[in-house]
Amino acid sequence: MSLQTSIIKNIHNQSNIVEAKNDISIIILAAGKGTRMKSNLPKVMHQVAGRPMLQIVIDEAKKINPQNIAIVISAEMQQYQDEIIKNNPDIKLNFALQLERKGTGDAVKMALQFLQQTKINIAKKILILYGDTPLLTASTMEKINNQLEAIDENNLVVLGFENQQKDYQQSPYGRLVITNNKLLKIVEFKDANDEEKSIKLCNGGIIGIKNNKPLELLNKINNQNASQEFYLTDIVAIANKSDIHCSLIITSPLELLGVNSKNELAEIEKIKQEQLRKKLMESGVTMLDPSTIYLSCDTKIGAGSIIHQNVVIGNNVEIEEEVEIKSFSHLEGCKIKSNAVIGPFARIRPQTEIAESARIGNFVEIKNSKIQALSKINHLSYIGDSHIGENVNIGAGTITCNYNGFEKFSTTIENNAFIGSNSCLVAPVNIGNNAIIGAGSVINKNVKANSIAIARSRQEEVENGATKFKQKYTKTNNSKK
Ligand code: UD1
Ligand code: MG
């Protein structure tokens, strides 16, 4: 076996992500304290584009079809375990508890010991990921897997990057010490001398291991260093001593950006938003001012749709083709079908479906409602827990009164009905086909199909009453003077 280190440039072409399960176990380290986040929420549960960072890492990891995934968590993370399992029904996730934060080497050991104790098969290859590095792509993970595979014997793969920061000597990454094209060791920043600090090639943290007895390697790591931690990175020097081949894959520093503070979280959010927008624009979505449009990881928008400036799209939104979303609209948990027009200033809340060519205008809030094709709710309305048929016209200021302080009730408005402006529909209530509701009505009884319902006090008129009223007052005032 050659001891030469293979240095591979990670070119971002489409990798061959295979369907069958890869003989690889993935370990995600997520037990860090995240002290610098200054938050009660564990670091890896902070969201990027509407999704916890840890979930983004799991999503990418799943794309390479691993045999299993083990997540190393701290005690504070235990309360999120059920939620994480529920959000990943397609794969068995194993949670290894690291009660004391003794370093990345110790964390990996906890995962391997847990898998062993619970009789879960540890695959021939192991890929170690970080829960706070959400920009790493499945395609890079697959390259590490392929490199581990390419060498028959036990071997290691380290993912590195070239530090392009101006003050790179001060950046706190592990340095990759390479001599004669061979990766000798990784020196942590805190332990590095000035010469080592001036090395631009840094450790991204992600490491692949192919070893029949990985725990044997990990057991050789000690904590005699500046941090008194068990550094996973020491595994490189240990491997070299045992004649185990070490390869280095170099990838873009962007992919390896990690989150340690709220500022870094905002930086990653910015990059993720740019990536999401770019992908949608490439698929045929028009964005009038992309940098003002906020998307979620799961946002789906069909080709030919136009998104105007200042639109926020939360989780679980599906927008079909040729839809127009006008400025200052806020959407979450909804489906907007083709040719619908939404906004400006519309708020569409979860469990809402807006059908083809419907029109939702300004200052309209819709919650848990189905609006069928060609219906119009153009101004200043609240529609909640409702079913609105086809071609219904809802006048300005219509409110569905769906809540009595204790319970929610639903409203149904059938096809072709017309609701006059400033009406209150007190649920539960049903407005039949073709019915008309007079403006300003408070409707609390069902209205039959084809009827007109008016529920407001009758208007009375006294002819010339205004003139007489004014005359009376002018006379009295004059007599007082
Ligand atoms: C690590 C690497 C460093 C690399 C850098 C890249 C080590 C010793 N150093 O340093 O070479 O340049 O990443 O970002 O590996 N964690 C646990 N349990 C622990 C300690 C850490 O689960 O006991 C988790 C953290 O939650 C985090 C990951 O491991 O997801 C990395 O830990 P972190 O403390 O951020 O390592 P760095 O100091 O950044
Ligand atoms: Mg870190």
Active site annotation includes 379: yes
Six token digits for residue 210: 């192919």
Question: Among all ligands shown, which has an atom nearest to the Cα of 232?
Answer: 1
Point out which residues pair with 73 in neighbouring strands.
Answer: 30, 97
Report the amino acid identity of residue 207.
Answer: I
> From edge to edge, which strands make up the β-sheet containing 376-379?
286-287, 306-307, 324-325, 341-342, 359-362, 376-379, 393-394, 418-419, 436-437, 452-453
Question: Among all ligands shown, which has an atom nearest to the Cα of 259?
Answer: 2
* Distance of CA 180 from the midpoint of ligand 2 (Å): 29
Q: Which residues line ligand 1 (CB under 6 A)?
A: 29-32, 72, 98, 101-104, 106-107, 130-132, 173-174, 186, 188, 202-205, 231-233, 258
* Distance of CA 242 from the midpoint of ligand 1 (Å): 24
DSSP 8-state code for residue 408: B
Residue of 28, 100, 104, 264 best suited for mutating to test ligand 1, as the one with most atoms within 8 Å of CB: 104
Question: How would you classify residue 437: left for phi > 0, otherwise alpha for psi between -120 and 50, otherwise beta?
Answer: beta
Q: Give me the pLDDT at residue 481, please.
A: 64
Ligand 1 atom with the shortest distance to the CA of 72: 22
Sign of CA dihedral 10, 146, 17, 51: negative
Ligand 1 atom with the shortest distance to the CA of 174: 11
Residues with CB under 5 A from ligand 2 (ion): 258
Distance in angstroms (rounded) separating the CA atoms of residues 371 and 359: 9
Residue of 27, 57, 130 best suited for mutating to test ligand 1, as the one with most atoms within 8 Å of CB: 130
Of 12, 46, 245, 379, which one is the catalytic site residue?
A: 379
* Closest residue by Cα to residue 176 from 249, 264, 256: 249
Report the amino acid identity of residue 160.
Answer: G
Distance in angstroms (rounded) separating the CA atoms of residues 247 and 156: 6
Contact 234, 105 (CB under 8 A): yes
* Distance of CA 173 from the midpoint of ligand 1 (Å): 9
Tell the residue nearest (CA) to atom 33 of ligand 1: 32
Tens digit of pLDDT per residue, the chain (481 long)? 333 445 665 544 444 444 578 999 999 999 988 899 999 999 999 999 999 999 999 999 999 999 999 999 999 999 999 999 999 999 989 999 999 999 999 999 999 999 999 999 999 999 999 999 999 999 999 999 999 999 989 999 999 999 999 999 999 999 999 999 999 999 999 999 999 999 999 999 999 999 999 999 999 999 999 999 999 999 999 999 999 999 999 999 999 999 999 999 999 999 999 999 999 999 999 999 999 999 999 999 999 999 999 999 999 999 999 999 999 999 999 999 999 999 999 999 999 999 999 999 999 999 999 999 999 999 999 999 999 999 999 999 999 999 999 999 999 999 999 999 999 999 999 999 999 999 999 999 999 999 999 999 999 999 999 999 999 999 877 776 6
Question: How would you classify residue 21: left for phi > 0, otherwise alpha for psi between -120 and 50, otherwise beta?
Answer: beta
Contact 344, 326 (CB under 8 A): yes
* Distance of CA 16 from the midpoint of ligand 1 (Å): 29
Tell the residue nearest (CA) to atom 8 of ligand 1: 231
Q: Give whole-number Cα distances, 48 to 252, 258, 259, in Å.
A: 19, 12, 10
Distance in angstroms (rounded) separating the CA atoms of residues 281 and 279: 6
Report the amino acid identity of residue 433.
Answer: N
Phi first, then psi, for residue 436 (nearest 5°) are -125, 135
* Closest residue by Cα to residue 281 from 298, 302, 297, 267: 302
* Distance of CA 42 from the midpoint of ligand 2 (Å): 14
